[in-house]
Amino acid sequence: MTVNIQTSPSLVSTLTITEPHSLGTALLQSLLTILTKEIDSPTRVLILTASHPEALLADVDALKRMTPTEAFDFSELGQKVCAAIEALPYPVIAAIDGLALGGGCELTLASDLVYATERAQFGQIEVRGGVIPGFGGTWRLARRVGDFKARELLYTGTMLDAQSAKAAGLVTDVFDGSGLLERVNVIATTIANIAPLAIRAAKMMLFTNRDLSLQASNKLESQLFSSLFGTADQKEGMSAFLEKRVPKFVGA
């Protein structure tokens, strides 16, 4: 088994990939199963990380032996995993302390926030192996870093260090390696303690907006905005603000 998931009392779950060069069919199927189950869990934030610096890499030897049909199925499976990350009704934070290349980079592109250590590296390096990204990376990369930067990264197969990835827009922030998960947990806990229905609506808007016109986006935004006024969390949040106290959100 190459992944495990733990839930803390703070409603932050951590999904850890444990083995090197593990981004193959078996791992992707495990991830898809876990992510699908997580939709109905009490989790409010999911941290995606790895305990080995080369865990977020594919087994190139296995890829080399794939037939076109097998490669198509593998690509579709990876796309389903990335779509499942985006479909979760709460934020996913990638915490990277190693290499996130190829499919590993695509997993971070599907995440809401990405934090890294100085030794982390990112890149869609597939052209070096005679192929292109297969998990939706060409689409997400252009929307994360812009069309021209995406072309440069895709055509050259460039690997970016953590600071360069931050400058390009691939990484939210760069932390000290010894305290990465601790700092990410602080951020995750902060988010988990905010009104979960509001966070869910915000994530829905951010991802849905990519396919909507401004007029359609505004209409959906008004619908979600107004629907939150019928929740207990809206009453609690605004009362707490007026009373200058910490709100206690229940997700209802």
Active site residue ranges: 106, 126
Torsion region of 213: left, alpha or beta (phi above 0 gives left; psi -120 to 50 gives alpha): beta
With 0-12 CB in 10 A as exposed, 13-18 as middle and 19+ as buried, what is 48? buried
Tokens of 34: 């876990």
Instruction: Please provide the DSSP assignment of 74-119 as one string.
Output: HHHHHHHHHHHHHHSSS-EEEEESSEEETHHHHHHHHSSEEEEETT
Give the neighbor-by-neighbor strand order of the sheet with 160-161: 99-101, 121-123, 160-161
Could you give the angle at which helices 103-110 and 68-87 cross, rounded to 10 degrees? 30
With 0-12 CB in 10 A as exposed, 13-18 as middle and 19+ as buried, what is 182? exposed
d(CA 102, CA 107): 9
The values of phi and psi at residue 45, to 5°, are -145, 140
